Structure formats: C-alpha cells, structure tokens
Structure 1
C-alpha cells in the first residue's frame, strides 16, 4: 500500500536529434492566478483514492498544495492521508516544501529548504510518532531548481510540440538532477471530467535519475492554451503495477 501512496504523490508532482527547448530562467511563466483540480486515482483496476491539486499566486511567487487520500477498500486496508505544500518564486524556482504523511500507523513530516544563494537544498524527515529524525541530508543545487510538483507547472509553460524535448533541473532535497521531458504525440483521451485533445509527454525521473527504481512516467496535457494535466500515469514493475491519475473535476 505504501507503493500506491508514493506513486500517487509522485504522479501529481513529475520528469536524439529532436529539437530542444531550453528553460529561460530569467522569464516569469504564464499561469492562472488560481486553480484547483480534483483527480481520481486508479490502482490495479480499482479506484484507490483521490487527489486535490491547488495553485495560488503569491506576492511575489506561487504556492501549491497537493492532498492525496485513499478511498474505498484501499482505505480500509491501509489508510493514507497526505498533504504536500510547496512555495516557489515568480520563476517557479523552488523555495521550500513540506510533506505531512499519515500512512496506516505511520506519521511523518518531511521538510525541504532550497537556498538558491548558497546553492544548497536541505532535507529533513522526522517520525512524528516516535519523535526522532529519520533522515537528514544536503545536496548542491543550481540557481533555479524545481521540486516534482513545480516541474509539472513548469512543463505547462514550455508548450512542447511532439518531437521537442526540454531539460528541467529537479531536486527532492536528497538528489539534484537534470531531468529530460519529451513531447511524444497527440492523443484524444477520455477522463471522468470529459474528453480532451492532448499532447502526451514522458518525464524521465526513474531508472536512477531522480528515483532509483525502474519505471516510466507519462503526462497528458491538454492541446490548448491551458495545458491542463488531465491524465498522469506511473508504470512500474509487475508486482507494483500502474497508477493512473485522471482529472475528475475543475473546481471553481
């Protein structure tokens, strides 16, 4: 059940002779001032949970909140209630993140602080039940780096066409990498919120990039000005399976 929790959180968060789009660190991305998206999470052909991703403009900068919780049979077997909060500057460069995770009997808190001036990210994970530090580390980061959720919003501003790719600087506080994102092709897909024309992307975060385990991450963004993430899918080994996240509702 912890695999479901990890993948659900990751899925909403992100990852040749083809043309490349290079990030412009000095420019501010164009994003909605406020947005709230509700998703259903499918795991092993059952609805295993829901997620709510909200986004607000700050003064200056941006803030996002991702709530992931199990439902139905999965919740009876292993209850998950996670909240992830992150803050970014006006260019979507990560400043801080906080994950509060309730998973079964486990209750943990993970804080990451990104210090652009010092070129360093600090990671601290604490067991709130036992009251001790589980893990603490530091890693070097570039002047502008994204967390996984911030990278998803940054992807939306790049507006990649099929055949194009980009390199995004990512860090989870423990590792710092340049992750490749490729726009693959156009697809029309069905979700609980309706039918969408999309561009399917692959983000290369697995296979010892940001995450060590083998796997693939696909993201479907609407083929319009909004570039809404309407479907996200994480595919891992057979014993873990596939987690599919689909847009259920755009909240107003």
Structure 2
C-alpha cells in the first residue's frame, strides 16, 4: 500500500530537460541528462549518464534509463508506468533489465536481458506503484515537510519496495538559477535506478512549485559523485 503525503499537481514542465555536470572529488567526470518528452498519450522520461573522455580511458560509464507513463491513468500523478528499461555499463559492470507493467491486471513482468531465457517472471503489484526513475518525478509533486518521512512503493528487480524518503532540512545554495532555497531529501533506495549505489543519496530540490533537482549526490567506494544542474529547459 502506498503511503505518502498528498500529491499536488505536476510540479515539472512537459517537456523538460535538465543537464548536469558530474563531478568526483571536485573534478568533472561526466555529464548526465534528465528529460521528459511529451508523446501525446504517453510521457517518456529518459535518464542518461556518460563519463568524460579522460575517465572513459579506465572506467567507462554509459547508462540509459527510460520509463514510459500512460497519461490519464493515475489519480495521483501525471501517468502510470507502462514500461521501464535500464541499460548500464559502468566499468566491467553491465545490466540490462526491463519491467512491463499491466495496469489492468495489476502485474509487472520483470525481464533480465542478460540473464537466462527463463529469467522472465510476472509479479503482482497494486495501482500506485512506480519504477525507480518515475518515482523521482512523483516525489517532486509531493508535500514535503522537514523532519517527516514520506513512503512510496517501487517495483524493481523482482521485488516491491516500500521506500522511505527522508526530508532532512532546508538550506540556501548557489546554483545556475542563482541563490535558491532548497529542500534536501534522502531517499533510502534499496534497488538499482537513477543512482546505482548502496551508499547515501542526497537530492536538493528547489523550494518552489517546480521542485527542480539542482543538485544530487551519491557516495561511492572512494569519495562521492555530485550532479550539479548546469542548463536545460525548465
């Protein structure tokens, strides 16, 4: 069962394109893009991350995550997940998995494209379930109160996860938009998604109706990777 604060109207624009510099220990290590594309009856959300040339020489990153939402099928959001595909290449690590949602039968078919042919299994889900990418956009529409946690249900990797979103604090930070008031949230992710890491993840959202993610940070084995908004259409 989905537990959360009440959702408002969509906080983000459609279309929307957010471009981020990825830095590691203060050095630019790559570029990431979050994009929302209007396809009339559906909305496509695309996340890409690519390592800089100098990083690719010893640790290539080539990630693409895509989700398709069916418009008008959700009472709490812009749309319901119809499909989700994650293809990542990070050094020697590779993943290619897909989820196909059936919102009539309330099932999710998980497919591991790099696994055995038999690695396809259907799982029961309920109506208000998100995938690891679309959930970021749903969180942007939620009423977030410092000191309180929200909970959202995410299906990924053959499991239904009830994920806690901690609302830590508000603070002023300097961004490409100028100095802005930001809400800092900490999703306790338990599966692969926009951040394929088990370390701490922090996201800075503008404290205004658009809730633009202006900074994201995840801890890695050595240091942290920070995504800083540097441009786009919003």
| Aligned match for 2:160, one of 146, 153, 176 | 176
| Aligned match for 1:39, one of 20, 30, 34 | 20
* Residues in 2 aligned to 1:115 and 1:49: alpha-carbon distance in whole angstroms: 36
| Aligned match for 2:144, one of 160, 166, 180 | 160
- SS of equivalent residue, structure 2 residue 96: strand
* Residues in 2 aligned to 1:109 and 1:80: alpha-carbon distance in whole angstroms: 14
Q: 1:179-219: per-residue Cα shift (whole Å, max 9, x none)?
A: 12122211112346643220111112149xxx998532211
Structure 1 unmatched runs, 5+? 1-19
Check the 8 A contact 1:170/1:177 in 2, yes or no.
yes
Greater helix percent: which structure?
1
Residue 146 (structure 2) pairs with residue 139 (structure 1): no
Q: 1:81-104: per-residue Cα shift (whole Å, max 9, x none)?
A: 222221113334311012333455
Check the 8 A contact 1:48/1:75 in 2, yes or no.
no
Aligned Cα root-mean-square deviation (Å): 3.1
Check the 8 A contact 2:85/2:98 in 1, yes or no.
yes
| Aligned match for 2:225, one of 215, 240, 243 | 243
Q: 1:38-78: per-residue Cα shift (whole Å, max 9, x none)?
A: 01112244322111111023333421111111104211112
> Under a length normalisation based on structure 2, what TM-score does the superposition of the two structures give?
0.80
> Under a length normalisation based on structure 1, what TM-score does the superposition of the two structures give?
0.75
Check the 8 A contact 2:12/2:212 in 1, yes or no.
no
| Aligned match for 2:179, one of 171, 187, 195 | 195
| Aligned match for 2:111, one of 124, 141, 147 | 124
- SS of equivalent residue, structure 2 residue 30: strand
* Residues in 2 aligned to 1:134 and 1:65: alpha-carbon distance in whole angstroms: 28
- SS of equivalent residue, structure 1 residue 153: helix
